Structure 1
Amino acid sequence: MVAHGLGEDARPGVRVKVRFAGQQVDGWLLERLDHSDHPRLAYLEKVVSPVPVLAPEVLRLARAVADRYAGSLADVLRLAIPPRHARVEKEFLPRTDATAPPTPPAEPVSASTGAVSTSVGPPMPAVAADGPVGPVEPGGWRDYPAGPALLRALADGRPARAVWSALPGEDWAARYATAVAATVAAGRGALVVVADGRDLDRLDAALTATLGPDRHVCLSAALGPARRYRAFLTARHHDAPVVIGTRAAMFAPVARLGLVAIWDDGDDLHAEPRAPYPHAREVLLTRAQLDEAAALVGGYARTAEAQLLVETGWAREVVAAREVLRARAPAVAPTGDDPQLARDPAAATARLPSLAWTAAREALRAESPVLVQVPRRGYLPSVACDDCRTPARCVHCAGPLALPSAGGTPACRWCGRVAAAYACPHCGGRRLRASVTGARRTAEELGRAFPGVPVRTSGREEVLADVPGGAGLVIATPGAEPVAEGGYGAVLLLDTWALLTRADLRAGEEALRRWAAAAALARPAADGGRVVVVADGALAPVQALLRWDPAWFAARELAERRELGFPPAVRMASLTGAPDAVADLLAQARLPEEAQLLGPVPADGDRERMLVRVPRARAAALAEALHAAAGVRSARKAADPVRLQVDPLAMF
């Protein structure tokens, strides 16, 4: 029930407090009704703020995402709506009061933990803007046969759906800005999600140049509480037709949504680490389906999930003609093929074979920058006994020892304890050698090899956005490669085994994605651009890089997963917890007849993991069964929790 004193402020979408199980809990008012069939209703305790933060379309999306991932609506809404910042809310209060719809006093409401009833809400206003943008020129989209048709569909307001394989050296931010401009020209809104802050800055600059200032909102968890909440409320009041951001923006309210887009959907930063663990790509595709909006999934590489969209006909691929690709791509060469081994027998085992060395030297002589991608950060992240090659381990926790610098003392990477007097437990040796070489050690070695050449590092401690175009060495970890003015003359992909040998279903896909992102920064082969991948050329990911054919590799990966029964060909859920707790949840769940149980397998600590696999057609039934079983355990106040994830990125 809504008390008379709260009638004016208690509108759909506002934050409220309700009493549930003897405690005050936070929630959202979803709908107000004239009457209720429920025999006993409690009064709202408090309207926290009169600002309606929950948009009707976001509520509908949250319910769909909760059903998709076997989660609760309250958990999804906590991801969708950022924490309140009272000082920022005051900036929006006068406008809220002026535009508030009339609300009758003293009406019943139904309440639940985290949310209050449901509502369709008032119709959304038109996109707020200073006026439509002018006719949109295809620009770089002309390099793709289907590119101009995609822009025409967006300008006409049609729900086109595309999977885009970007060319090497492509200014992807400018292409996305053009697609957004076409959508805005049709009087629709757009939402674009990228993986990290660097990509967000590039897209922000591209949209400002294309649409002009104050036509889009940047939404990211890295903004801080006040700036993030201000950006959210700006989007909620539809002061700009476009919202861009990182994973935090996937639920952002956008009026008359006409386009959802995601760049580099294979990046694990797109996966939400909090329950119910939704992926930004799946959330955006769900929005496209619910709002009949266009969808654009782009990247230098292609995931198996994106390939499934193409093969099922849900989306069409946007790729360049082979002649255009040959003109734009750098020359890519492996170091483990037969001709190279004939010239350099040590190429199969050397960390920097002669081919890579020569490519770097020639690029530097031509006053061009050289990019060196190293999968591991730090100095020597893994060391071993120099006498018997036994990996060096901490005597306290058995964690791996690492060297922080050339004159540093070995320390454990797990517990941080220093092992100043380390002695090998097998042979008693006290000398250590490198097992894995990190980015900082690589920079030190290359700096000695090329004296007088500037050496820059880009990684976890400091990520560079760009570097000058002159001669120089840039050593970067995957995902931290800066853009070079004019492109890199040479790109060296070292320690490829670290990516290819990961015990992960997506190891090959992830390796190709990271290599392609680095190789795309090189100059075209006609301008001297070279990429050297220190790997056997017969490997499928290397072959895809050599031909720059991510679609072929994605189709191959999807076919293998169909044969083996792994996502995205099937729907799979992961249950992780104490053995008794996992068994209890499965006993409560009414799983579909087609469900297959895989496991259990050991997880971290004393927990175990069980996988449940069903055909994609039975995905909804699986999620419903697991959610109901989790609800029964929650009602019983089960002591041991079970982590429930649907289609997790890592299953092993």
Structure 2
Amino acid sequence: MSSENEQPGSDAQDAAPEQLALIRETVRKAAVPRAKPRTWRGADLAPELPVARVLVDKGVLHLDRYFDYAVPAELDADARPGVRVRVRFGAGRGRVHGGRREGGGLISGYLIERIAESDYSGPLAALAQVVSPEPVLSPELLGLARAVADRYAGSLADVLQLAIPPRNARAEAKASPPAPPAPPKPAPGTWGRYGQGPAFLDALASGGAPRAVWNALPGPHWAEELARAVAATLASGRGALVVVPDGKTAGRVDAALTSVLGEGRHALLTADAGPQKRYEEWLAVRRGSVRAVVGTRAAMFAPVQDLGLVAIWDDGDDNHSELHAPQPHARDVLLLRAAHDKCAFLLGSWSCTVEAAQLVESGWAKPLTADREQVRRAAPLVRTVGDGDVARDAAARAARLPSLAWQVAKEGLKHGPVLVQVPRRGYVPKLACERCREPARCRHCAGPLEAQGAGALHCAWCGRTEGEWHCPECGSFKLRAQIVGARRTAEELGRAFPSVPVRTSGREHILESVPDQPALVVSTPGAEPVAEGGYAAALLLDGWTMLGRPDLRAGEDALRRWIAASALVRGQSAGGTVVVVGEPTLRPVQALVRWDPVGHAVRELAERAELGFPPVSRMAAVSGRPEAVAEFLAGVELPPDAEVLGPVPLPVSDPAQPRRPGAVPVGEVWERALVRVRPGSGAALAAALKAAQAGRMARGAGASGASGAESGVRIRIDPPDIG
């Protein structure tokens, strides 16, 4: 753990120093003396501070500034800083007021501050309406949102759309109860298994700001341990915020907080609650009625008062990365909050990301781990089956289940449920040549070929039937399942174990838990239900498919998914066994066998430092049509140490799949260039890209961010996929 008086390490994830500098720069700009030219006044204006500085809710970069409006006398009482307002904005007829034309359409915005004089020399348009007297934008939230916008080369309005939920009048009319008194300091509980665990809780309870990267032991105790950290923070009279990747995980932490704190002491912020309930919970937090929050990624902006702890669980999960502009990552937002509010920081996971390892290696945070003896007691026994073993195994060739896995499953079913993790949902999502493993593609459109049961092959893109496929590389006529889906695996296991119930958990239907009874539970990564008492065994199939992805994070992500599934299995002392089908010599497989995710992350970090890859360097992705990308790169003033990689073509979207934000439009050719800078230049890179994009948009050349027009250039800072 790191004390609050220690300075962050040099460019820890290019994180705390640079992020704190962004916040200081925001404060510095706000302190610059303003000129005091003539302001339009009239008898119907507010007698004091008659000018409102407004941020319009229009997420385009060249309008990422404040606009001045006159405050009518009838709105004087309600027009307070932080409230939602409606103003005239946009093209229209009439005289120009406050830099905009009078007669434009009404648009929502936030009242930032009231001032006596305006910088604008002409007459000002008046506020049209105060939507609600409820102040929803505090100075602290505004400063955080501005820092996030600057870090990710985005607009302040876009960040506030992520940070503040839509208004619900019924929720605002409902009074929030008074805040309960601070709870007593909790006992360490299972934190005693970690060498510095009790000291970490003591530091939180005494008002300190320790910073720790927590490698949690496998098993069910992690949620209670998070709850005890929150309780220790509340005991000091401060607030706490916990961000988790999904609603299922939020439910587990919610139950643990209720058990440790009691009813009414924390808020649950997830999309599943519905707009009114979620806004009620959010208002209770903003009003100070609730001091503890657990929620999914949108909760990273929760306006917790007197913030004493920010915590994130499983920061490597893709759900922590926002899909909408400017696409911030929850981990980085919480790092900003820890630097701004000088509060404690806790990053916890069964696994360990490279970013987490960098925070420890730089000295910005301290490791919070258990000794090897504790790990051996808590972790299951891990056994491996390599590709060579599968090729020589007749049972594996016939049923795709190696003999070792079959034996472990058979033995485990005598004592409880057995988990089977498969990389994909569905039946046979991908086919490949049996001889050379070249993907099977349609001769008409090059789309992937699929097979349902014993039927003929058909293209997933154009739907054409392929009756006489042969491999264009080696000439073979035989196909193999490149990745066998969850439904096909469930069918095969049902035939192999006819008397055992088989249950599936995936995107269409995710199971929360399963009883402590013999059953085979087939799940895709991230959808594994919790078994009462833990699984007796787990089979991790098709490991090579996850390791073979052309992505920088393939090994790290595969290990994280394997460990997440294996952590649900009983410990080795209770007979828990895991079989992973993957080449035993590969580093992620060895890390799983040794249960050493931290060592794997440290070695990955060293390799990336040598090659100049993130998170040691900072990167930005610039994508769009080839001519637009070329024009943008020619006009942007990059930092002197910037290196442009590419551009290279981007893969087209699969028309059979739902369109995701940021996906390449179907039928278009797009390219992507990566811009890389050394540690410490990340802020300069983001500022340069933001300025160039704002200028481009002001000229009408394109749009910004993941939600921009298709003809524009998209910018993403710290892209998660650079493979």
- TM-score higher than 0.5 here? yes
Q: Secondary structure at the match of 1:460?
A: coil
The residue aligned with 1:624 is 687
Task: Give 1:650's aligned residue.
Answer: 721
What residue number does 1:476 align with? Answer: 523
Change (3 A) 1:409 1:244: farther
Q: Report how far residue 436 of structure 1 moved.
A: 2.6
Distance in 2 separating the partners of 1:208 and 1:403: 48
1:368 to 416, 423, 429: 416
Check if 1:443 corresponds to 2:514: no
**Counterpart pick for 1:575 among 622, 626, 630:** 622
Equivalences for 1:343-358 in 2 at 5 Å?
Answer: 351-358=400-407
Q: 5+ residue gaps in structure 1?
A: 96-126
SS in 2 for 1:30: strand
CA drift at 1:323: 0.9
Corresponding residue to 1:13 among 63, 82, 87: 82
Match of 2:591, SS?
Answer: helix
CA contact (8 A) 1:238 1:254 kept: yes
- Determine if the alignment matches structure 1 residue 229 to structure 2 residue 279: yes
Give the structure 1 partner of residue 100 of structure 2. none
If the length of structure 1 is used for normalisation, what is the TM-score? Answer: 0.89
In structure 2, do the counterparts of structure 1 residues 413 and 89 end up closer, same or farther at CA, with 3 Å as the change threshold?
farther
Give the aligned partner of residue 523 of structure 1: 570
CA contact (8 A) 2:390 2:402 kept: no
Deviation at 1:25, TM superposition (A): 2.4
Q: Structure 1's 336 and 58: CA in aligned 2 closer, same or farther, altered over 3 A? A: same
The one-letter amino acid of 1:352's match is: L
- How much has 1:573 moved relative to structure 2? 0.6
Give deviations 1:370-391, integer Å, cap 9, x for gaps. 1110001101112358999875
Answer yes or no: is 1:634 the counterpart of 2:634: no
Aligned residue for 1:424?
469
Q: Give the aligned CA root-mean-square deviation in angstroms.
A: 2.5
Aligned partners of 1:571, 1:254: CA distance in 2, in Å? 30
Deviates more, 1:172-181 or 1:7-16: 7-16
Question: Counterparts of 1:367-406 in structure 2 under 5 Å?
Answer: 367-383=415-431, 391-394=439-442, 397-404=445-452, 406=453
AA aligned opposite 1:20: F
Report the more deviating stretch, 345-354 or 14-23: 345-354
- Residue among 408, 413, 423 paired with 1:359: 408
1:31 equivalent to 2:125? Answer no
Cα distance in 2, alignment partners of residues 542 and 472 from structure 1: 26
The answer to whether residue 580 in structure 2 is matched with residue 533 in structure 1 is yes
Contact 2:423/2:483 (CA < 8 Å) preserved in 1? no
Deviations 1:336-367 (A, max 9, x none): 299x7899698799842221111111111x23
Is 1:305 the counterpart of 2:355? The answer is: yes
Alignment-derived partner of residue 44 in structure 1: 127
Residues 175 and 641 of structure 1: is their aligned pair in 2 closer, same or farther, counting only changes over 3 Å?
A: same
Give the counterpart letter for 1:202 in structure 2: R
Alignment match, 2:302: 252
The answer to whether the 8 Å contact 1:168/1:329 transfers is: yes
Specify whether residues 190 and 523 from structure 1 end up closer, same or farther in structure 2 by C-alpha distance, changes over 3 A only. same
The whole-number CA distance in structure 2 between the counterparts of 1:390 and 1:288 is: 48
What CA distance in whole angstroms lies between the structure 2 residues aligned with 1:389 and 1:313?
Answer: 45
Q: Which residue of 2 aligns with 1:557?
A: 604
Distance in 2 (alpha carbons) for counterparts of 1:644 and 1:623? 9
Q: 1:385 to 1:647 in 2, by over 3 A?
A: closer
> For residues 34 and 387 of structure 1, do their structure 2 counterparts lie closer, same or farther at Cα, with a shift above 3 Å needed?
closer
Distance 1:349 1:552 in 2: 37
SS in 2 for 1:32: strand
2:141 pairs, out of 45, 58, 73, with 58
Tell me, yes or no, if the aligned pair for 2:215 and 2:369 is still in contact at 8 Å: yes
Q: Once the 2 structures are TM-superposed, how far is the Cα of residue 407 of structure 1 from its aligned partner?
A: 6.0
CA offsets 1:467-488 (integer angstroms, 9 cap, x no match): 1112111110000111111111
Letter of the structure 2 residue corresponding to residue 212 of structure 1 = G
Task: Note the C-alpha offset of 1:85.
Answer: 2.5
1:461 corresponds to: 508
Is the Cα–Cα contact under 8 Å of residues 78 and 130 in structure 2 kept in the other structure? yes
Q: CA distance change for structure 1 residues 425 and 553 in 2, over 3 Å: closer, same or farther?
A: closer
User: Could you tell me which of 337, 355, 358 is aligned with 1:287?
Assistant: 337
Is the alpha carbon distance of 1:545 and 1:385 closer, same or farther for their aligned partners in structure 2, counting shifts above 3 Å? closer
Render the CA deviation track for 1:384-418: whole Å, top value 9, x for unaligned.
589998755446643223345x3667554345x37
Residue 254 of structure 2 corresponds to 204
User: In structure 2, what is the equivalent of residue 610 of structure 1?
Assistant: 673
Deviation at 1:128, TM superposition (A): 5.5
Structure 2 CA distance for partners of 1:389 and 1:139, relative to 1, 3 Å: closer
Deviation, 1:55, is 2.0
**CA positional deviation for 1:318:** 0.5
Deviations 1:428-474 (A, max 9, x none): 99997634311111111111111111111111111111111121111
Tell whether 2:125 aligns with 1:77.
no
5+ residue gaps, structure 2, are: 1-69, 92-103, 652-667, 703-710
Q: Which residue identity is paired with 1:515?
A: W
C-alpha change, 1:414 and 1:158, in structure 2 (3 Å) is farther
Residue 502 of structure 1 aligns with an amino acid whose one-letter code is R
Alignment pair present for 1:87 and 2:170: yes
> Which residue of structure 2 lines up, in the alignment, with residue 492 of structure 1?
539
Does the 8 Å contact 1:383/1:391 carry over to 2? yes
Q: 1:408 to 1:58 in 2, by over 3 A?
A: farther
Name whichever of 599-608 and 510-519 sits farther off. 599-608
Mean Cα deviation higher: 221-230 or 501-510: 221-230
**Which stretch shifts more, 23-32 or 477-486?**
23-32
Counterpart-to-counterpart distance in 1, 2:363 and 2:519: 46
Q: Is the 8 A contact 1:335 1:347 kept in 2?
A: no
C-alpha distance in 2 between matches for 1:79 and 1:259: 21
Q: 1:46 to 1:381 in 2, by over 3 A?
A: same
Equivalent residue letter for 2:631: D
Separation in structure 2 between the aligned mates of residue 215 and residue 32 of structure 1, nearest angstrom: 35
Separation in 1, partners of 2:479, 2:541: 22
Counterpart contact for 1:351–1:495, Cα < 8 Å: no
Q: For 1:387 and 1:319, how far apart are their aligned partners in 2?
A: 46
Secondary structure class of the residue paired with 1:76 = helix
* Structure 1 residues 42 and 402, CA gap change in structure 2 (3 angstroms): same
Query: CA–CA distance in 1 between the matches of 2:154 and 2:219?
Result: 40
What pairs up with 1:322-337 in 2 under 5 angstroms? 322-336=372-386
Range that drifts further, 1-10 or 511-520: 1-10
C-alpha separation in 2, matches of 1:377 and 1:647 = 29
**Pair 1:381–1:31, CA change in 2 (3 A):** same
Deviation at 1:72, TM superposition (A): 1.1
How many residues align? The count is: 614
- State the one-letter code of the partner of 1:398: A
Q: Which residue of 219, 233, 252 corresponds with 2:269?
A: 219
- Cα distance between partner residues in 2 of 1:344 and 1:425: 26
C-alpha distance 562-384 of structure 1, shift in aligned 2 (>3 A) = closer
More displaced, 471-480 or 351-360?
A: 351-360
* Matched residue, 1:105: none
Aligned pairs for 1:92-131 within 5 A: 129-131=179-181
Counterpart in 1 of 2:7? none
Structure 2 CA distance for partners of 1:135 and 1:385, relative to 1, 3 Å: closer
The alignment-based identity, stated in percent, is 58
| Correspondence for 1:101 | none
SS at match of 2:209: coil
Q: Kindly tell me: are residues 466 and 64 of structure 1, through their superposed partners in 2, closer, same or farther at Cα, counting changes over 3 Å?
A: same
CA contact (8 A) 1:336 1:347 kept: no
Q: What code does the residue aligned with 1:608 have?
A: E
1:34 is displaced (CA, Å) by 2.1
Q: What is the one-letter code of the residue matched to 1:67? A: D
Does the residue aligned with 2:680 lie in a helix, a strand or coil? helix
